[in-house]
Amino acid sequence: MALDTPHIMIVEARFYEEIGDALMESAIKVLEDASATYERFQVPGTFELPAAIQFAVRSMDFYTARRRFDGYIALGCVIRGETSHYDYVCAESARGLQDLALKNTLAMGYGILTCENRKQAMARASSDQHDRGGAAARACLAMVELKRNFHLYPR
């Protein structure tokens, strides 16, 4: 892979499959338009996203002894329910991803929707409305480029 072709890990929470599909579709379109390569991984829910990325960060490419990915995109959705579970999942997944990005100097695209209901979530996931999956991919690519500007590539 050429230095200017970023290789991205996309991790998708599948708890709300229809919403996840819309987020993924938008993210992939942005990456393909940018000629980036990617690998997709699925986890059960948003709470598991930070752990999946941590697994990838700790794994190294066998041949180069470097990280396998230049950037990471976390996609998922949390919809408020009747209990405080929503608050914990939102806060802990966001904190976990931010901690990973800061501790490991990761280029991260944050695509976790935190919504009151399914209608709000679909509007934010839809590529012809809020396009949060595409926004997460664009953020990731921008951070990959910023890392390169600071000569932090590929680490």
Q: Which active-site residues does the annotation give?
A: 85
With beta carbons less than 8 A apart as the criterion, state whether 67 and 37 touch.
Answer: no
CA distance 88 to 30: 30
The structure tokens 């802990």 sit at 92
CA distance 150 to 125: 32
Task: Name the E strands within 70-115.
Answer: 71-79, 108-115
User: Using alpha carbons only, what angle is made at residue 87 by residues 21 and 50, rounded to the nearest 5 degrees?
Assistant: 55
CA distance 79 to 90: 9
Cis (ω within 30 of 0) for the bond into 6?
A: no
Number of H helices, E strands in the chain: 5, 4
